[in-house]
Amino acid sequence: MFLAFLMLCSMMLTVAAQPENMAGETEPWQPPKNFVDPVTLKIQELKEQGLGTEEITVELEKLGMGWYPETGATWMGRALTSEELAKMPTRTATDVPSDEKAVTMVDKVSVMRTSSASWTGVSAEMVCGSMSAASGQTIYHYVTVQLGDLGGLSSWAEVVVTHNYGETYKWYTYDSNEGGWTFYANKNTPSTATDTYVMMLDGTADGDGYHYDVWINYQWVRRAHLPSLNVQAGFQKEVFSNSGTFTNDASRSIYYRNWLHNAQGWSYWTNAVSTQWSASAPVRESHTMGAVSYNWQTWVQN
């Protein structure tokens, strides 16, 4: 009986150690109800103290926070400096370069995305893998989770994991209309770890559009707007090279236990959803039905 009691205590401790909102096998993690992000709360506090826009911006930067006063978009982390922005490849949601800067750099892409713009959220458990880079070969390497107009490129947002040549793995967010690139943090989990990403429209709107939020490993990261409540969801891997030569991956980027959200709630991303895939060699992709949802794998192989 004493042994049974010890086993029961151990089980109770194990259960207690689990994150409160951890995604389960049958339902995804849900953002807290009536959630107000910490940056918005801090802005309200600073306004009550009589601070103006520029003063608030300075105070937020000291706290590792940022906002886009024109629309009220908020985020954790910081905006990129002009020098950092000059080094970043042009953002596109497809493999078609969008300006002269992109033409000078070879960009290869693989994509998994919904065919229709009928979704309000996307969630993925993803292992980024090696995301290999090397001198004279792949110099920028991204894997992303995206939400918005991914075909027309009019407005979209994304979480971006980067492993660029000479750098550690990093987390960024990007919004095509509000604030552009923001640096969230150096990735504090191994390349072999499973990280959880959630992008979700919450159904509320103001004069600048519908609000969406971004969460990484259950931590809030960014809040901004999309012009429509029903959008496309997608995943994307991108590699960039100045020479046209790319680095083979030692391991694949793997998206699994993937969810989509609409007015009925969350459901697994399965073959019941009209989905499109594409890849430009040497980037490869493989999609199969896993135990509960599509398992999408993408890698670089010359």
Strand partners, 161: 143, 171
Copy the structure tokens of residue 289: 């039905």
Pull the structure tokens for residue 67: 């906002």
Residue 53 forms part of a structural domain: no
Query: Residue 218's pLDDT is what?
Result: 95
Q: Is residue 65 part of a domain?
A: no
Q: For residue 233, what are the domain limits?
A: 75-91+102-300
pTM: 0.88
β-bridge mates for residue 261, sequence order: 121, 266
Judge contact between 205 and 71, C-beta under 8 A.
no
On whether residue 137 sits in a domain, the answer given is yes
For 55: left if phi > 0, alpha if psi spans -120 to 50, otherwise beta; the answer is alpha
With respect to residue 133, please indicate whether it lies within any of the assigned structural domains: yes
Whether the pLDDT of residue 71 is over 90: the answer is yes
Asked if residue 277 belongs to a domain, the reply is yes
**CB-neighbour burial class of residue 269 (10 A; exposed 0-12, middle 13-18, buried 19+):** buried
Number of structural domains the chain divides into: 1
- Cα–Cα distance measured from residue 156 to residue 18, given in angstroms and rounded to the nearest whole number: 33
Domain-embedded: residue 181: yes
Identify the band that residue 17 occupies on the pLDDT scale cut at 50, 70 and 90.
very low
Q: Which band of pLDDT confidence, cut at 50, 70 and 90, is reported for residue 28?
A: confident
Q: What is the CATH number of the domain that holds 135?
A: 2.60.120
What does the alpha-carbon distance between residue 264 and residue 262 come to, in Å, rounded to a whole number? 5
Q: Is residue 35 part of a domain?
A: no
pLDDT one-digit tens code per residue, 140-158: 999 999 999 998 878 999 9
**Residue 236: strand pairing partners:** 111, 144
Please give the structure tokens belonging to residue 124: 């993925």
Q: What is the pLDDT of residue 37?
A: 97
Beta pairing class for 275-279 and 106-114: antiparallel
H helices present in the chain, as ranges: 2-16, 38-48, 53-62, 82-87, 100-103
Query: Has residue 213 been placed in a domain?
Result: yes
Beta bridge partners of 113: 234, 276
Amino acid present at 190: P
CA 122 to CA 259: how far, in whole Å? 6
One-letter identity of residue 219: Q
Q: What one-letter code names the amino acid at 233?
A: A
